[in-house]
Structures are given as C-alpha cells and as structure tokens.
Amino acid sequence: MNRFHNSSAAPEYRRDPVTGRWVVIAGGRASRPIEFSFPEVRRSDQVCPFCPGNEQATPPTSLEICNPVTGQWQVRIVPNLYPAFCSGGEFNSANSFAWQSDQARVSTFGIHEVVIESDRHVSRMTELTDDEVSVVFDAYRTRMQQLSEDPRIAYALLFKNSGVRAGISLEHAHSQLVALPVVPPEAELELSVTRDSFLSQSECVFCQVQRDSDNRLIEATDDYVVLCPYASRFPYEMCILPRVHEDHFHQHASMHRLGRFVRRSLERLERHLPGVSYNLIIHTSPFDSNRYDYYHWHIEILPRIATVAGLEWGSGIFVNSVAPEKAAEELANAL
C-alpha cells in the first residue's frame, strides 16, 4: 500500500452562487505538516488610546452613545488617525472615479472611522454582554443612517478585525467603518451576480441559500440563520442572514436581537477554535434610491486559521481544507 495515499474525499470544485467565484474543497490538506507557530505577544509599554481617560488621543467623536444612568460613554466612533481614505480629499463623482475612468491616479475621497466598542479594555466582542453588543450594533446603524444621508456617499462598509492574523494593530475591541463615493468592486460583483440570478429565477439567491442549506446550517431562530456557505473560502467560514428579505442593513429593526445572535455565533467559533483570529464584514446595498429585491444584507465571518498563499494569489481560487458540511456540524455542537 502506498504510504503517501490520502484517504480523504477527493477534492472538488464548488461555485459560489453570490460571487460566481470557484473554490476547491480539499479536506486532505488539513493533514499537511506545519513547522511554524504564530505567537501573538502584546507590547507591554503601550498605552491604550481607546480606554476612558485617553479620549484626547483620538480625534473628536463622530458619534458617541452614553450610559443613560452613569453618563459614561459606552461606544465611541472617531475618525481613524491613519485613514486609508481621506474626507478632506478631492471629491469626484462616481463617473470620474478612478476604477470607472481611464485616469491612472486621482485624489482619494472617503470617510474612515473607528468604532470603539466598549469603555472596558476587552479584546473580543464575546467579552461584551448581550446588552453591550446591542449598543455596538445600534451605533453601527445610527452612523450608517447618518452617512446614507450624505449625497457624496454611495456605499458604506463595516468590518471588524479580531486577532493579529486578521490584521488588528490595537488590542482594545473595535471595528471600522469606511464610506465611499462609489460602490467598491467586491460589492459590485455580488450585486451583479445576484441581479443576474434574480432575473433568471425570480428569487433572491440569499433566500434560496437559506432554504437549501440544511446540511450546512449552524443555528436558526425566527429572525436569523447562521450557516457555512456552500463554497466557503476559509475553514469554518460563517454567514449570518436575516430570515426575512431585507436589502439595507441600516434599516434593520432590531439591533438588540441581531447583536445577541452575532455574539452567540462568535462564541461558537471561539469555543471550537480558542484564540482564533477572524474578520467580520457586513455587506449591504448601496445608499441610492433603487430597490434591491435581488440583494440581501448579510454578515460574513472569516476565520484566519489558514494562510492565503501563492496558489490563491496566483489563481484566484481559494482552497479550503474543511468541508462546510463538516464545519457546520462541529460549530452547531460547540455550545
């Protein structure tokens, strides 16, 4: 018998119905020998700029939510001191923006903010209480609603990096908000693919995904589902969807229920993979007046336990070593 034979199921291609991208599910790659470890060591000489008493270390707030009893702030949203986009940059209409024109370089315009999620020095959203997480999601909604009324802004992206391998530079629990004058390429791709699917099938693809995901379902309530996508790019990748079709995140009615559900989903992940780094991304519809019957806001949770390497960068095809069916079963049993 060949001692190098891998008895795992043969790798298979899967196509993502939301983006049209292909991934490879290859369970055998989970057995690869790995010689390296990735310690995350926080420098002891750092003063946290996000803790109470250090407010002068951040720019003035864009939004602040305070405890109605104590008056102490609970969540602060402030401009990023090191922004990728600059609100003082030259504003260009969508028609003249860089990736929609033949210009090789233009001044950036955009809003880049930090959401400080707690006045307590905690590092993870799961360390917040359900009530505290609901305040964070209320802040998300309020700020996105404000930005939706700015005629310069076409799209806003909320994301959270948790853990060094996911890209954090400061330990204190926080997330980020970017608002742009155009719909960015990744969102435009989802909108284009789901629009084409809706025209051919007369149904939102995300609603189809919910109905067809029994063997990839982690948890379902009357309000939300969390599942592992059919063509997951990362091991234990999760997607949270509202059960009822909704196109705009900032118009969602109950941030309290949503915050609790997100926290519970993250707790499943961290119970199963202690110390895991992840990216959490909220995808929503653009801020224009169009109806998006074909698009469904959703939250992606992307664990960073596998390294994106040459194969992925060179081919554009992600290779996932944990089948989403197996991942869903394990995460469902994690609590």
Residue 43 lies in a domain: no
Neighbours of 211 (CB within 10 A): 9
Compute CA 80 distance to the chain's CA centroid, rounded to the nearest angstrom.
18
Residue 304 lies in a domain: yes
Alpha-carbon distances of 127 from 160, 206, 276, rounded to whole Å:
15, 30, 14
Residue 308 CB contacts under 8 Å (≥ 6 apart), including other chains: 318
Residue 50 lies in a domain: no
- pTM of the full structure: 0.88
Residue 47 lies in a domain: no
Instruction: Walk along the chain (335 residues) and give the pLDDT tens digit of each residue.
Output: 444 344 456 889 999 999 999 999 987 655 444 444 445 556 666 789 999 999 999 999 999 999 998 999 999 999 999 888 877 655 655 444 555 555 556 566 889 999 999 999 999 999 999 999 999 999 999 999 999 999 989 999 999 999 888 888 889 999 999 999 989 999 999 999 999 999 999 999 999 999 988 999 999 999 999 999 999 999 999 999 999 999 999 999 999 999 999 999 999 999 999 999 999 999 999 998 788 999 999 999 999 988 888 888 888 899 999 999 999 999 999 98
d(CA 280, CA 234): 13
Q: Are 173 and 160 in contact (CB under 8 A)?
A: no
Q: What are 320's two structure tokens?
A: 């996932």
pLDDT at 309: 84
Straight-line distance from the first to the last Cα atom of the chain, in angstroms, rounded to the nearest whole number: 41
Q: Are 177 and 143 in contact (CB under 8 A)?
A: yes
Range of the domain at 167: 55-190+219-332
The residue to which tokens 């996105």 are assigned: 144
Residue 36 lies in a domain: no
Residue 196 lies in a domain: no
When divided into structural domains, the chain yields a total of 1
Classify burial at 322, counting beta carbons within 10 Å of its beta carbon; exposed 0-12, middle 13-18, buried 19 or more. buried
- The domain that holds 106 is classified in CATH as 3.30.428.10
φ/ψ of 141, rounded to 5, equals -60, -45
Residue 198 lies in a domain: no
pLDDT at 122: 94
Residue from 324, 106, 75, 99 nearest 216 by CA: 324
pLDDT at 223: 96
Residue 25 lies in a domain: no
